[in-house]
Structure 1
Amino acid sequence: MSVLTAFAEALRSGAVEVVDLTTPLQESTPILELPEPFANTSRFRLEELSRYDDRGPAWYWNDIHTGEHTGTHLDAPNHWVTGREGPDVSQVPMSTLVAPAAVIDMSAEVGQDPDFLLEVAHLEAWQAEHGPLPDGGWLLYRTGWEARGGTQEEFVNADEAGPHTPGVSAECARWIAQESPLTGFGVETVGTDAGAAGGFDPPFSCHHYLMGAHRWGLTSLRNLGRLPATGAVLVVSPLPIVGGSGSPARVLALVER
């Protein structure tokens, strides 16, 4: 039996489960909102063209209106000034789109502190227990934040001091980008950076270091609690937008049961 035939049989039998990690796209899907004077992305919206009527008697279809960085989406290196000469979203390597995934679960810590930051020491402890991070793979950061995805207010969790969402420290972001073997980093929050990262040195350190090292980001993931710490394979399917800085994506995980 060939490898692909065996894989297809494993999918059919349930020996390999496909887990959807994607936030559904609709008008209420939370988005990143920047303060003035910065430009903001648009919310997802359908514009009906016809629905079995005089505009098209036998078919239903829509235009879609959305930003590149809406819902579950891929950040390309050229999204940030440090990666401005890097690849766009149409140039993502196939080896990045289908790659092994490691999951670090800090949901208990985030439950106690929404501003919790992942540190290098947490990753060192994870590796001591589970082995090295996957070469050319993804690190997925479980925080439990998907439970807040029902409304914009809960997801952004902002007050007069700004948003309070978990992320990584500046040093941890640098380590992931420059010292780890990873190709990308994925989170459950609206962006890869913590809510307070505008005050870090450098500001928005995750974007600064990851994009600058031509690494890739994934945001607004769901169902990370259904994945093992190691062994899953990630499948990322962005639109190949030529010149694009990112794209909404369907993100799946293949898990052996």
Structure 2
Amino acid sequence: MPVLADLMAALTTSRVEVVDLTAPLSASTPVLQLPPPFANTTAFRLEEISRYDERGPRWYWNDIHTGEHVGTHVDAPNHWLSGKDRHSVDEIPLGTLIAPAVVLDASERVAADPDFLLGIDDVRAWEGQHGPLPEGGWLLYRTGWDTRSGEQEEFLNVSDGASHTPGVSPDCAQWLAESPIAGFGVETVGTDAGRAAELEPMFPCHDRLLGAGKCGLTQLRNLVRLPPTGALLVVSPLPIVGGSGSPARVYALVERAG
């Protein structure tokens, strides 16, 4: 069966739509800010090498300066202490980077409470309606937070010395770590809630999911354009040898009714 030929035909006729889930990467891209005494990542910056001038008359190019965990990016399992002996970003299996994805929409709950934590019952209710989580696939957590992603202050939503962004409860993080998914994706700056340092364990998504060898995916956009089930996710991080993560181009293939 000419599967790839069929796929190309479906893409050409728009029966399969490519939905870009990646936030543009620039100097204005929001970046996580940790409080003292912790060290922070560098923001994204372009440094021009030449632009059709005396430094290079026929070419334009730049050096890039950025952290691994800036913009839409992958968290490899070795990003966290609990997963320190697991895969680095260059070792993530390709079967994890091209895999089915489902979308759980909690945007209404988050609109009412920016500190909302997804619970086990919420995932079970979703499964009751849409079926089990995909084995070896991704759970994408839609919160509507991508509408804030154009501006650092609104995206991080800091008040009273704390960041107020949605996340996952510790019990649910453990439950997802034991589930068949290979990765968990969010629209926020990180996979954990803004106040995750107050939970037990601290930063439960990082601690439990990465510790179980699963991957994280952050700062996604356009999840509203994906169906609850049936999308194919494609994640393209740089294969940084020994790296803990990488900015990534992320998109989904979605079959549309003909």
Under a length normalisation based on structure 2, what TM-score does the superposition of the two structures give? Answer: 0.98
2:214 corresponding residue in structure 1: 215
Shift of 1:160: 1.9
1:38 corresponding residue in structure 2: 38
2:229 corresponding residue in structure 1: 230
Q: Distance in 1 between matches of 2:229 and 2:118?
A: 18
Indicate whether 1:118 and 2:118 are aligned. yes
Structure 1 runs (4+) deviating above 6 angstroms are none
The letter for the 2-side match of 1:108 is: E
**CA deviation vs aligned residue, 1:121-167 (integer Å, no higher than 9, x gap):** 00100000001110100000000000111111000001124000000
Indicate whether 1:150 and 2:150 are aligned. yes
Q: Distance in 2 between matches of 1:85 and 1:181?
A: 20
Shift of 1:252: 0.5
Shift of 1:76: 0.3
Indicate whether 1:253 and 2:252 are aligned. yes
2:81 corresponding residue in structure 1: 81
How many residues are treated as equivalent by the alignment? Answer: 256
Indicate whether 1:47 and 2:47 are aligned. yes
SS of the residue corresponding to residue 255 of structure 1 reads strand
Q: Distance in 2 between matches of 1:94 and 1:205?
A: 26
The letter for the 2-side match of 1:248 is: P
2:240 corresponding residue in structure 1: 241
**CA deviation vs aligned residue, 1:63-119 (integer Å, no higher than 9, x gap):** 000000000000000000000001100001011000000100000110000000100
Unaligned runs of 5+ in 2: none
The alignment-based identity, stated in percent, is: 65
The letter for the 2-side match of 1:104 is: L
Q: Distance in 1 between matches of 2:207 and 2:124?
A: 22
Q: Distance in 2 between matches of 1:83 and 1:53?
A: 47
Under a length normalisation based on structure 1, what TM-score does the superposition of the two structures give? Answer: 0.99
Unaligned runs of 5+ in 1: none
SS of the residue corresponding to residue 49 of structure 2 reads strand
Taking the TM superposition and a 5 Å limit, the aligned residue runs for 1:56-67 are 56-67=56-67
Q: Distance in 2 between matches of 1:75 and 1:196?
A: 19
Q: Distance in 2 between matches of 1:56 and 1:196?
A: 48
Q: Distance in 2 between matches of 1:98 and 1:150?
A: 27
